Chains A and B, each alone.
Chain A
Amino acid sequence: MRPGRPALPEWIRRLPEYLMIWVPLLLSAAHLISFSLWTIWISFTPSTLIPVTGWVGLRNYSAVLASRNWQIAFDNLLLFGGAFVVLSAATGLILAILLDQRIRGENVLRSIFLYPLAVSFVVTGTVWSWLLNPGLGIQKLVHDLGWTSFRFDWLIDRDMAIWTIVIAAIWQSSGFAMALFLAGLRSVDADIIKAAQIDGAGPVRIYRRIILPSLWPITITVAVIQLQFAISTFDLVRALTNGGPGIATQLPALVVYDLMFQRSLLGRGAAAAVLMLLILLAVLLPYAAWRYIQRRRAAHA
């Protein structure tokens, strides 16, 4: 503060800070809560083209749950969510460990691995849809090189198509996992590692017994972020397979969009959206509970 000026009261001086934090926070909370409540309400009404009042009980829910589209979408979500979270975390961890070897050009490599995150999912989906297309992409390339019995036609194989989405999603976001893991690796206490080295532990043993266990909190964070991302995946599938071949790669977000805007069944679409919210809560609530227990433990320790 400059001399010669009367000191402002503390709360006035800090007013900009409060406004910066609280106004946006309250606004987004209000939006989130009001729109969620609105969607829940719509899901119990007979709304079709536009929202209308009325009460149909759980009819929209039973219609969605009974539809083939939703059943396929839910199975796909389990498969895609599980595979994507595990594989992208594993890829990210491996990349992080390799990058952590004090190699030259680390900054450049880190940017390269992180770069896919800067590309929108629609672009990722479109690019991969060309790469994975057997008539244009990787399969054709290998055929043209002379290996004509090579087959890689997952994109058009309705049992394997869901894995093409996993591949594209991993390409997109394993860099993100890598960045988090790298930060974790760098924060492991160097003294403990040195002590272990003096005791004669090899690198494998050090990773297994010291470094990886200390990465647990980061692994959980990565998994939760990726899982909620998996649940809300829309643009990637829309661009890559658009739910096809047929309806083999439906995901819940696609079903919601389809019901609301393609079929003009707002009530059913809202019901599907609420079901998605419930799936999300099934992931987030255990996570919140885990965090709570962790904090309690830390406080008691």
Chain B
Amino acid sequence: MPITTTRRRLLAGSVATLALPAFARAQGAAKPRLTAISQWSAGSDGAAITALGKKFEEKGGVWQHSPVPGFTTEMMNKLRAQIMAGDPPACSQLKGPEIAAWSKIAPTVDLDAVVAAAGYEKVVAPDLAKLHKPAGKWIALPLQIYSTNMLFLSKRALDKAKADKVPVTWAEFNDLAEKMKSGGVNHPVANGGTRPDDGQKFEAALGGISPAAYRAAIMNLDEKALKGPEIKAAFAQVRKIADWMDPNVGAQHFSTNLKRFIDGDMGMMIMGGWAQGVLRNAGFKFEDFVIAPGPSDNSKPVFLLNADAFIFWQRKEADLQAGQTLMAQLVMDPAIQTMYSQITGSIPVRTDVDLSGEGWSEGQRTTAKALKDAIASNQAVLSMAHNMAQENGMTAAMIDVITEYVKNKSIKPEQAATRLAEAVEGAR
């Protein structure tokens, strides 16, 4: 083993010596190169990042993307390994409070100048901007926004229920679910069996019941709010939802059941906007389903914010630094954000992008309007189930309680509320 290493080093050394004159010449204008890791490898996510890479190459860059398929945590394990080896990627996917946590273990790039040059700060929602400059300086850039509590309605299930009105409050939602049930829809609420899926049901319930309580309990971990009546009410609503779900889904991903949703065997789906991209990618048409903001008891949209982002890690190589600048400029570019969101079904981070034109769906326009209205009425909050409100450890502790509650119908809402407060205390 040691012999090969030495030989390889020797080889690399001699190649470097030979290439030195060329390297010196290239120093003046290093060809931008970007090493990036993300979890996006397939489907609409994979297609979108591939398209972004193409744009990067069109601008004269070298695009080196290494996708780590699976959940975000799997990607983070690779990131951790690379950071510990002293070889972080020039940029990697990372979002929410994890940006602040990870930025403490390795130096990040100060993006303030590039962001200022693009005038980006003015067009990003303030809560979102805060997450991407944890110590006051921009070190990460949000790429696209989803709401995790969009309500997808199956047209065929609506027909079975003889209903055409989209529910706005939880009471209306519950009514419609009952109607669907009696109209022959087997499972009025479509679901998967994963942990985030269960978490989303809870955050949609609590957010819809009281955004203020959501902010206090979930985002600020206020002890009084965690034991408040809204939490119990949210758990009670989750129990109703769980009774309408298909218990047979096991540990399946929500996308496994999309055909049943379209066919009207499942009625309504509480899911992030990404489901639109997945549905379209699976060959379903916009005529098959309706997208609306999730139920909100005060009738004003509640937006549970989930934003994918890139964090930029410090590198000494001139070509990587040039690549980081180019990548930052691309990510903030309205044309690129438009292209990206149109592929995935998200909405752009920039609030100044016009969604009225060709290529945008009704669902995306609804989502963008919901975000605008939610910000205006201070009802845009950060998603817990998708790691935007808290760091992973805290999120996981909360979801433990929620997922057990969803699957164990003998737990009472009061009991679940107590357990949630205890779990938060234990994870603090």
Contact = CB atoms under 8 A, between A and B. Distances in A.
Interface of A: 48-50, 63, 66-69, 129, 133-136, 153, 155-156, 158, 240-242, 244-248, 258, 261-265
Nearest to A250: B400
A156 B84 contact: no
A244 B250 contact: yes
B403 A153 contact: no
B248 A153 contact: yes
A258 to B, nearest CB: 7
B250 A66 contact: no
B95 to A, nearest CB: 14
B373 interface: no
Given A49-B105, A67-B426, A263 B392 contact: yes
Contacts of A247: 400, 403-404
Contact of B247 (A67, A69, A136, A156): A156
A153 B408 CA distance: 14
Interface string B179-207: 00000000000000110000000000000
B80 A50 contact: yes
Interface string B398-425: 0010011111100000000000000000
A245 B405 CA distance: 10
B278 interface: no
B172 interface: no
Given A68-B400, A135-B246, 10 more contacts: A49-B101, A49-B104, A50-B80, A63-B426, A129-B251, A153-B247, A244-B407, A261-B77, A263-B393, A265-B393
A131 to B, nearest CB: 11
Main secondary structure of the interface of A (DSSP, over half): loop
Contacts of B405: 246
A248 B391 contact: no
A63 B80 CA distance: 24
Contacts of B102: 49
B73 interface: yes
A262 B397 CA distance: 11
A223 to B, nearest CB: 30
A135 B248 contact: yes
Contacts of A263: 392-393, 396-397
Contacts of B193: 244-245
Interface residues of B, number: 32
Given A246-B406, A247-B400, A155 B250 contact: yes
Main secondary structure of the interface of B (DSSP, over half): helix
Interface string B370-411: 000000000000000000000111001100100111111000
B83 interface: yes
A130 to B, nearest CB: 9
Contacts of A262: 73, 392, 396
Nearest to B83: A50
Given A133-B250, A242-B251, A261-B77, A50 B84 contact: yes
Nearest to A156: B247
A156 B406 CA distance: 12
A158 B407 contact: yes
Contacts of A261: 73-74, 76-77
Contacts of A63: 426
Nearest to B79: A49
Given A246-B404, A263-B396, A133 B248 contact: yes
A250 to B, nearest CB: 10
B84 A241 contact: no
Contacts of B246: 135
Interface in B276-321: none
B426 A245 contact: no
Nearest to B411: A246
A66 B406 CA distance: 23
A208 B67 CA distance: 59
Contacts of B392: 262-264
Given A50-B84, A263-B393, A129 B250 contact: yes
A76 to B, nearest CB: 14
A81 B403 CA distance: 25
A13 B359 CA distance: 76
Interface in B39-82: 73-74, 76-77, 80
